[in-house]
Amino acid sequence: MSPSPGKEYRRYKKFQKEQEEKWEAACKRCGACCGAVEGDPCDYLEYAGEGEYKCRDYANRFGRHHSRGGQKFRCVPVREILHKSWAGDKNCAYKQGVLL
């Protein structure tokens, strides 16, 4: 017997949530993708201590932002920029393929 659509949906949502948590846990919080290494970081980037950084409004981060120096840019999901390079990206967990 095949599962009901509701069951499939719940299973998919659970899988999606687990994947998201796995990705979040893998991030080293180095802040490099937010400009911490490059020298003109996003205005929302805050130092959290012990070499780690955090976003001031992580839940609502996507969209228009500017760096401390006034450069305008869009914050996007990191998976959309993995094919690009940025200062400090050699240390990025996703670039190192920890989840592949």
Candidate list 7, 19, 55, 79; residue touching ligand SF4; CB under 6 A: 55
Q: 9 vs 26, which CB is nearer to ligand SF4?
A: 26
Q: Does 67 bind ligand SF4 (CB under 6 A)?
A: no
Window 73-92: contact mask with ligand SF4 (x via CB under 6 A): --x--x-------------x
Residues in the chain, total: 100
- Interface region with ligand SF4, contact rule CB under 6 A, candidates 3-11, 14-22, 42-50: 42-50
Q: Does 31 bind ligand SF4 (CB under 6 A)?
A: yes
Could you give the count of Cα atoms lying within 13 Å of 84 in the half-sphere of its Cβ?
Answer: 10
DSSP letters, 5-25, are HHHHHHHHHHHHHHHHHHHHH
The helices-and-strands tally (H runs, E runs) of the chain is 1, 4
